[in-house]
Amino acid sequence: MFDFRFIYLNDNAYGVSDITKITIQEADGLKDISGDDILTANIPLQTMYLHSDNGNYTVLGDNLMAIEITKRET
């Protein structure tokens, strides 16, 4: 599982925990990324969808400056 922290230009930050998969928009459609591929993927600073065992989240890409991703040890 992974923890995400989204940092915006206005210094606001938003954190999401226990993520197992993300979905991003690519030129040819939506792409799912999961497992350790999350740590090595080139993740664009745009709207994305995050999935966990307990829920799903949509994070807006407007004014997104950085994304921190940390793998949670199990």
Question: Number of helices (H) and strands (E), helices first, in the chain?
Answer: 1, 6
| Domain of 54, in residue numbers | 2-71
Q: What is the pLDDT along the chain (74 residues), one digit of tens a residue?
A: 999 999 999 989 999 999 999 999 999 999 999 999 999 999 999 999 999 999 999 998 899 999 999 998 86
Specify the pTM. 0.90
String of DSSP letters for 8-21: ETTS-EEEEEEEEE
The token pair at 51 is: 């999935």
Model pLDDT, residue 73: 82
Determine contact, residues 6/64, Cβ cutoff 8 Å.
yes
Query: Could you give the number of structural domains in the chain?
Result: 1
The token pair at 1 is: 């599982």
Give the Cα separation of 22 and 38 in Å (integer). 8
